[in-house]
Amino acid sequence: MQQSTFSSKTNVCEGQTIRIIAEEPEIPGIISQLGKTEMWYVPDASKDAKLIYGLGKNCTEEEVRTAIEQGTLMNYLQQVPVKKDDLFFIKAGTIHAIGAGVLVAEIQESSNLTYRLYDYDRVGKDGKKRELHVDKALEVANLSSSAEPRQSLRVLKYRKGVASELLTRCKYFEVYRMLVNTERRQTVHYHADEVAFRVLLCVNGCGTISFEGGNITFYKGDCIFVPADSEVLSIHGQVQFLDVRG
């Protein structure tokens, strides 16, 4: 059976652990899974919300270790302002974290591999600090300064009842934003081709999807799996999807 090339989820944070996702291919003695490239789409964000995207300047392993021990790592990290509808592509090896007040729809390479670099000295329910993976994280981290991510120009393409735009494309997945706005009995037709399944992640609005034998109602936050070579589905409602393809 062929492994899926991506997975999807949503996150809303009060301050996420600062993490590292490893590169591919496998690194002997370090990891035994695939790396994890990610795309973050921001359906909503509070005023002055930020995320961490790489380092603000070039660092050595020794400098990062010392900063973690002294609790000064935040001084070395690049904090990027975030607003609704922003898009970020997180390459494997990038130090990153979602800041407080940010709702993120996360599409990622199919992997559970994450190294926890720093956790703000927080403690769990057991009263102990959560385990860090500093040695492994620094083996795979990009310690060069990261260019501040810029929002690229996106072009919506319209047809009756729906508009769509390409958000990102890489070797693991491609993601489109799809805006459906139907009235009364009007519907939008959708199907997955025979190459791979698709996922529709509802990031705003609600509606119904009809198919032979029934229909389902969906709401913000729902994730709809569309099998490869699917029948033609009929979508009705006012909704914004992330249309994710492997």
Radius of gyration of the chain (CA): 20
Encoded tokens for 174: 């491609």
Active site residues: 116
Query: Which secondary structure element, helix H or strand E, spans residue 137, and what is its range?
Result: helix 134-140
Encoded tokens for 2: 């062929």
What is the per-residue pLDDT across 151-176, written as a single tens digit (0 to 9) for each?
988 999 999 999 999 999 998 899 99
Task: Rounding to the nearest 10 degrees, give the CA dihedral for residues 72, 74, 75, 76.
Answer: 110
What whole-number distance in Å separates Cα of residue 59 and Cα of residue 145? 8
Considering the entire predicted model, what is its pTM? 0.85
pLDDT number for residue 35? 56
What whole-number distance in Å separates Cα of residue 101 and Cα of residue 104? 10
What whole-number distance in Å separates Cα of residue 118 and Cα of residue 6? 26
pLDDT number for residue 89? 94
Q: Residue 138: count other Cβ atoms within 10 Å of its Cβ.
A: 18
CA distances from 184 to 51, 129, 161, 162, 236 (A): 40, 54, 11, 14, 9
pLDDT number for residue 222? 95
- The DSSP result for 76-122, as a single string, is GEEEEE--TT-EEEE-TT--EEE-TTEEEEEEEES----EEEE-TT-
Low-confidence ranges of the chain (pLDDT < 70): 1-16, 20-35
